[in-house]
């Protein structure tokens, strides 16, 4: 389903990152980040702790639980695209 939706999205859409959907894209936009390029650019200027805090704020659900898959996917995306100072991935509980 993700790959089908991904084909119809703009290349620079935040939803190109796996597990990032409409809700998280709106949260990113509320924080002033509207594209993948903007995300990479802003995160490249932040420390590891600042990135961790920011992503946890974005990916925390209404009930207070962290969406670990979206958090890890975004962290891995940043790492793969040259941001070496990313936080550790969140341990996913089964």
Tokens of 74: 């975004």
Answer yes or no: are the C-beta atoms of 21 and 15 closer than 8 Å.
yes
pTM for this one?
Answer: 0.87
Cα 68 to Cα 32: distance, rounded to the nearest angstrom = 22
Q: In terms of residues, how long is the chain?
A: 94
- Which tens digits make up the pLDDT trace of 5-46? 667 888 899 999 999 999 999 999 999 999 999 999 999 999
Higher pLDDT, 3 or 66: 66
Cα 59 to Cα 89: distance, rounded to the nearest angstrom = 13
Across the range 58-65, mean pLDDT stands at 95
Across the range 46-64, mean pLDDT stands at 96
Tokens of 48: 């590891």
């Amino acid at each position: 389903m993700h790959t089908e939706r991904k084909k119809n999205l703009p290349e620079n859409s935040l939803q190109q990152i796996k597990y990032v959907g409409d809700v998280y894209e709106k949260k990113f936009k509320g924080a002033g980040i509207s594209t993948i390029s903007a995300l990479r650019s802003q995160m490249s200027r932040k420390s590891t702790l600042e990135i961790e805090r920011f992503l946890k704020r974005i990916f925390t659900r209404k009930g207070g639980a962290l969406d670990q898959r979206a958090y890890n996917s975004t962290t891995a995306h940043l790492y793969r695209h040259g941001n070496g100072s990313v936080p550790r991935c969140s341990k996913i509980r089964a």
